[in-house]
């Protein structure tokens, strides 16, 4: 799916793409969410809510791109750290 706007439905689809990317690399978290505040999209992930982390991105930069592509571009460079964090 193309990311066409910073709307709730597009952010939900982007979150699904992020979760799918993690799953493809055998990384799972008990809790994931995606929020938006003033155009900044935050992908939140954790196994313990008190130790939640996030990856933030400027939403406008990704309008018109495929959600799976966005997830790969953002997450693949940090996969080793995500995998280690998921084990904790």
Residue ranges for the chain with pLDDT beneath 50: none
pLDDT at position 27, please? 96
Q: What is the pTM of this model?
A: 0.93
Burial (Cβ within 10 Å: 0-12, 13-18, ≥19) of residue 21:
buried
Q: What is the mean pLDDT of the chain?
A: 95
Smallest CA-to-CA distance from 10 within 18, 22, 2, 21 is with 2
């Amino acid at each position: 799916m193309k990311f066409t706007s910073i709307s709730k439905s597009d952010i939900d689809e982007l979150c699904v793409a992020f979760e799918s990317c993690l799953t493809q690399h055998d990384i799972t978290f008990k809790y994931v969410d995606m929020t938006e505040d003033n155009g900044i999209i935050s992908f939140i992930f954790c196994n313990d809510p008190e130790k939640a982390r996030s990856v933030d991105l400027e939403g406008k930069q990704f309008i018109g791109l495929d959600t799976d592509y966005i997830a790969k571009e953002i997450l693949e460079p940090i996969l080793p750290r995500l995998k280690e964090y998921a084990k904790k």
